[in-house]
Amino acid sequence: MEKHDSKTAIFETMSVPKAILTLAVPTIISQLISVIYNLADAFYVGRTGDSYKIAGVSLCLTVFMMTVAFANLFGIGGGSLVARLLGRKDSDEARSAAAFSLYGAAAIGLLYSLVLSLTLDPLLRLLGASDATILFARQYVIPVVIIGGPPSILSMVMAHLLRNTGYSRQASIGLSGGGICNMILDPLFMFVLFPKGNEVLAAGIATMISNFGAFLYLFFTYRKVARTAPLSADPRRLRTIRPETVRELFSTGIPTFVLTSLFDLANVVFNARISAHGDLQLAAAGIVMKIERLPNAINVGLCQGMLPIVAYNYASGDHERMKSVVRTARLMGLTVSLVCVGLLFALARPVSGLFISQSAGAEEAMFTLGFAASYLRIRCFASPVQFLNYHPSYCLQAIGAGRETLFHAVCRDLVFYIPMMIVFDLLWAETGLMLALPIGEGVSAILAAVLLRVRLKKHRLSPQKG
């Protein structure tokens, strides 16, 4: 137990900025590499100069994001609960919660793959696939999500559980390794091993293989760490877990699942609205949605690094340290977000140009690039207010405030963002669609801040009064 006991210093005694960075930096790196390897698919598909292939791959983001939602259900729900149980010095029940998270994730991943395989074409049509793009979307979804979905979900859940017990570096290595592998395999499969015209299928198979590799590394690492850390993969623990532990896991996991699912629903609406303007506009929006995941990855990685420290200190009663963590993480995230806004606005056209080849001088490629640059200059302003949504939401999840997290998730997309998309699209077409994100996120961020402040005031824990 000595090795794990040394990890408690991160939660209890290490300086707050250092503690946050110790858990957040590896998490941010793994998030960035995960985004980069997804960008790699878009980048290499973009080398074909075929806007329809780019549009087909872009449609798959919505289907893939559901795997993230399922992983968050058991990863953030179970991971934050494990951290709180450790703060209460209940290591045995933490092991049971970890085992429940793993087997729950495996079951829901298999079920999702089955349902998706039975409804794939109608779903892709619903997401905006046209006759020109549905084949490419199908070629990507089958290997990446239908076959590769369950190991991807389990990888993300194991990474959350490792991170929330202090093993952020090991989690980062697993997820990052899969990303690096994909960046190597993509060009090999797309331009060497597979015949010309099959680039999307090749990218999907390369991604699937890389995700399986990440799963194997994380599985064996998890089993090794579980010998001393409060983690477990023993199915017998499913019989001994306390009912109140399961309820607490879902009280945090379900809101974060809903949050990600509603984000996915918002993407469905967005794709449907933008595809009505044309396949080139859809391809351009797909490029922008890939690029904007980079600042999002930093924001989410920082919040995921913050979460276990907040959860641990909330449960252990060290509320002064908890408040300091909340304030410090907020300042870090806002600083990074504002820098990203400046860079993306200034470099919108060259950054967008990385994802579609203009060497052939195709008119479609030039139009797609122009759309992407103008869209990015608008949507990049969402980054700071998106962080101001993530930060309170993760804090609420850390302290087990499931109702507030769920309320915020529903309002963020169903009350603010999606209605704004529809109205702004009717008023200002594509420009309105792009404006809906920063404005909707800004209104939602105000609500998130109020919810966190009210919840903490109930316990006399206002983060403004350290």
Task: Report residue 184 CA to chain centroid gap.
Answer: 22
For the chain, give the number of residues: 466
Pull the structure tokens for residue 396: 């609420």
pLDDT computed for residue 7 by the predictor: 65
- Terminal CA-to-CA distance of the chain, rounded, Å? 33
For residues 294 and 9, is the Cβ–Cβ distance under 8 A? Answer: no
Give me the helices (H) in 165-292, please: 168-188, 199-225, 243-275, 279-291
pLDDT computed for residue 1 by the predictor: 43
Pull the structure tokens for residue 201: 């299928």
Listed residue (452, 397, 456, 391) closest to 77, CA to CA: 397
Q: How far, in Å, are 91, 162, 230 from residue 4 at the CA level? A: 11, 11, 8
Distance CA 129, CA 132 (A): 8
Distance CA 84, CA 448 (A): 22
| Helix, strand or coil, per DSSP, at residue 349 | helix
Q: How many CB atoms lie within 10 A of CB 412?
A: 24
Parts of the chain with a pLDDT under 50: 1-2, 4, 360, 464-466
Q: Which pTM value belongs to this model?
A: 0.76
Task: Report residue 295 CA to chain centroid gap.
Answer: 12
For residues 100 and 249, is the Cβ–Cβ distance under 8 A? Answer: yes
Q: How many CB atoms lie within 10 A of CB 280?
A: 22
Task: Report residue 201 CA to chain centroid gap.
Answer: 24
For residues 98 and 231, is the Cβ–Cβ distance under 8 A? Answer: yes
Listed residue (223, 116, 110) closest to 161, CA to CA: 223
Task: Report residue 113 CA to chain centroid gap.
Answer: 19
pLDDT computed for residue 460 by the predictor: 61
Distance CA 234, CA 221 (A): 15
Distance CA 305, CA 168 (A): 8
AA identity, residue 454: V
Q: How far, in Å, are 32, 360, 371 from residue 349 at the CA level? A: 21, 18, 9
Distance CA 358, CA 47 (A): 8
Task: Report residue 315 CA to chain centroid gap.
Answer: 26
pLDDT computed for residue 207 by the predictor: 87
| Helix, strand or coil, per DSSP, at residue 466 | coil
pLDDT computed for residue 389 by the predictor: 94
